[in-house]
Amino acid sequence: MLKIYFGEKEDVLHNVETFFNNQYQYSWLEDPFVVDLIKDVDQSVVESPECIKSPVLRQIPPTRLSGGTKAVILMKYTDRVINASNCGDNCAPWILKLGEDRDLTVNLHHIMEFPGESFEIEILNDHRIVHNMAEMVDAATDYL
């Protein structure tokens, strides 16, 4: 289940860029989930673990991916609590998907727009379960 902590929290990875750039593994870029994530969020194609074809930047290394893409990849491959405020709303479906497969805790400092009519997210600040954006906004405004 996806779990969100709103506001300041200890032991959160805020510097996604530096951490990713120094920790990512080539095998992460061979994962179909990551390939699809990069295609959707960055509109880029993984040609190899060392080369990504961007429509804007041409051929780039993984270190040039967007901060949001890096954050979601780190959510998948580490047990760290990631500051999901590094992500735009285009990452929200991917974060929800990761939360369907396992318990995933993220930190937010803004209200992220999650897609769909219903979902299930635990707000760790008070352990309530929210099922839609109206409930999410209500919960978030208590803590942001």
71 and 36 Cβ atoms separated by less than 8 Å: no
- Is the per-residue pLDDT at 102 higher than 90? yes
Q: Model confidence at 99, in pLDDT bands (50, 70, 90)?
A: very high
Residue 43, burial from CB neighbour count under 10 angstroms (0-12, 13-18, 19+): exposed
Biggest alpha carbon distance in the chain? Answer: 45
Query: Of 93, 74, 77, which Cα lies nearest the Cα of 13?
Result: 74
List, for residues 51-88, the tens digit of each pLDDT value.
Answer: 999 998 899 999 999 999 999 999 999 999 999 999 99
User: What's at 25, amino acid-wise?
Assistant: Q
